[in-house]
């Protein structure tokens, strides 16, 4: 994403003088959120032309300078502060003044990762207020036979989320695979694996990339278990790579999970980990989710293994960073959603579960949901706190 950065600083604080693009705090925020910043400094002549504009209150002693320029500026004021050089104190005084003038504003303050997440949330709110273009999602083969509760309401998807579902027959996918044209992955796979299996997995990745281009897709779901018999390999690596590239890709032809991952991509900037709820301990509140593929861009490390159920192909054993996560899923008819913020506490390594495994804390209310009224099997694990932004995104669509 791209945002505009304007700034105000006091001449008394010479220690922070210098180019904005060299500011350590801004660089940390940009890195934490994969954010591209366009710097305008104290030139406010273009303010408001970007979808998201932030005013970096760089130091204290900036209150009067802000009051001189604010009458010509429109919209809600987003005041970014590093917490250094009395910047937070000045921002609070400025925000109080804005409220007295019946203008809206917010202070963005905290660790770079927290600020970056809030910037992404604000972008989602901004997107919800502007007309959206339609999105094309591919269904490669039919949903797997065991997904008996995951048939989507296509009219609801079209009307509420501007989605078009494009049917792609399995024979077209297999025809692309048989071209044996692997594509170089966008990430370093780090660990060597069986060369023939790796090449086969990258040929599947190449086939899906070509389908995305041919059908102009922004996401897809694949009846991936058919690959075990037809090409003696798996789609686990291919789906992990596509998700890392920002193309939501779900397993087993699971359409509601694909839609949930697309929403996660719009809101959080990552499609999340599509996983099976594998074990719940109601007494301790520990829950394990597992699956054989996971996006590389939400991992701190990984290795490869065989696919769990079949023992063949190439699966991803990923390590997700410990910390806050959001569990998310929308129902096939979009009438229900599950959004639960909690903590990821461990990355187990059990031989009787799918290869990527995460242990997550749940409360009694969440346990009741999973045991009495779940939205299907698969759920999406998104790093970070995203409940507020997901609700804003979905509630806007419901009201539209």
Strands 323-330 and 379-383: antiparallel
DSSP letters spanning 372-392:
HS-SSS-EEEEES--HHHHHH
Residue 199's pLDDT is what?
A: 95
Say what the pLDDT of residue 399 is.
Answer: 44
pLDDT tens string, the chain, 400 residues long: the values are: 789 999 998 876 554 556 788 889 999 999 988 899 999 998 998 888 888 899 999 998 999 999 999 888 888 899 999 988 899 999 999 999 998 888 888 999 999 999 998 898 887 666 544 445 678 999 999 888 887 767 777 778 887 788 899 999 999 999 999 999 999 998 888 767 899 999 999 999 999 999 999 999 999 999 999 999 999 999 999 999 999 999 999 999 999 999 999 999 988 889 999 999 999 999 999 999 999 999 999 999 999 999 999 999 999 999 999 999 999 999 988 889 999 999 999 999 999 999 999 999 999 999 999 999 999 999 999 999 999 889 888 886 554 4
- Residues 332 and 44: their CA atoms lie apart, in Å, by 46
Q: Provide the sign of the torsion angle of the four alpha carbons 374, 379, 384, 389, taken in this order.
A: negative
DSSP 3-state of 340: strand
List the chain domain ranges: 2-128, 135-399
The pLDDT of residue 191 is 67
* Residue of 253, 273, 291, 220 whose CA lies nearest to 381: 273
Q: Rounded to whole angstroms, what are the CA distances from 147 to 102, 122, 255, 335?
A: 52, 35, 10, 19
Spatial distance between the Cα atoms of 293 and 225, rounded to a whole number of angstroms: 13
Pick the CATH number of 2-128 from 3.20.20.150, 3.60.15.10, 3.40.50.10940, 3.40.640.10: 3.40.50.10940
Looking at residue 189, its pLDDT comes to 83
Q: What is the pLDDT of residue 49?
A: 81
Q: Compute how many other C-beta atoms are within 10 angstroms of the C-beta atom of residue 186.
A: 12
Burial status of residue 351 (CB atoms within 10 A of its CB: 0-12, 13-18, 19 or more)? exposed
């Amino acid at each position: 994403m791209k945002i505009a950065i304007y700034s105000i600083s006091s001449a008394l604080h010479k220690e922070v003088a210098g180019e904005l693009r060299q500011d350590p705090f801004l660089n940390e925020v940009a890195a934490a959120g994969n954010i591209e910043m366009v710097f305008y400094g104290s030139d406010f002549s273009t303010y408001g032309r970007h979808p998201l504009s932030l005013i970096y209150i760089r130091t204290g002693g900036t209150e009067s300078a802000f009051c001189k320029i604010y009458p010509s500026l429109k919209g809600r004021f987003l005041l970014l502060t590093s917490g250094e050089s009395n910047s937070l104190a000045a921002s609070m005084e400025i925000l109080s003044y804005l409220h007295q003038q019946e203008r809206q504003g917010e202070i963005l303050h905290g660790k770079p990762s927290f600020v970056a997440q809030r910037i992404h949330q604000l972008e989602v709110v901004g997107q919800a207020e502007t007309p959206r273009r339609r999105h094309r999602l591919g269904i490669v083969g039919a949903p797997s036979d065991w997904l008996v509760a995951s048939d989507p309401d296509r009219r609801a998807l079209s009307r509420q989320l501007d989605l078009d579902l494009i049917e792609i027959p399995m024979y077209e996918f297999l025809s692309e695979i048989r071209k044996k044209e692997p594509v170089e992955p966008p990430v370093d796979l780090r660990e060597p694996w069986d060369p023939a299996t790796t090449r086969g997995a990258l040929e599947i990745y190449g086939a899906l990339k070509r389908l995305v281009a041919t059908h102009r897709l922004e996401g897809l779901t694949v009846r991936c278990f058919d690959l075990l018999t037809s090409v003696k390999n798996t789609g686990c690596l291919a789906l992990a790579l596509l998700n890392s590239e920002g193309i939501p890709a779900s397993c087993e032809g699971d359409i509601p999970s694909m839609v949930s991952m697309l929403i996660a991509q719009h809101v959080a900037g990552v499609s999340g980990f599509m996983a099976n709820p594998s074990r719940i301990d109601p007494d301790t509140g520990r829950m394990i989710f597992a699956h054989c593929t996971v996006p590389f861009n939400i991992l701190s490390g990984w290795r490869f293994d065989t696919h769990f159920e079949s023992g063949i192909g190439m699966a991803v054993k990923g390590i997700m960073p410990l910390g806050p996560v959001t569990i998310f899923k929308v129902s096939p008819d979009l009438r229900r959603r599950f959004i639960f913020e909690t903590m990821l506490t461990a990355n187990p390594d059990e031989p009787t579960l799918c290869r990527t495994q995460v242990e997550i804390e749940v409360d009694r209310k969440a346990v009741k949901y999973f045991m009495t009224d779940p939205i299907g099997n698969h759920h999406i694990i998104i790093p970070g706190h995203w409940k507020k932004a997901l609700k804003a995104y979905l509630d806007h669509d419901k009201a539209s």
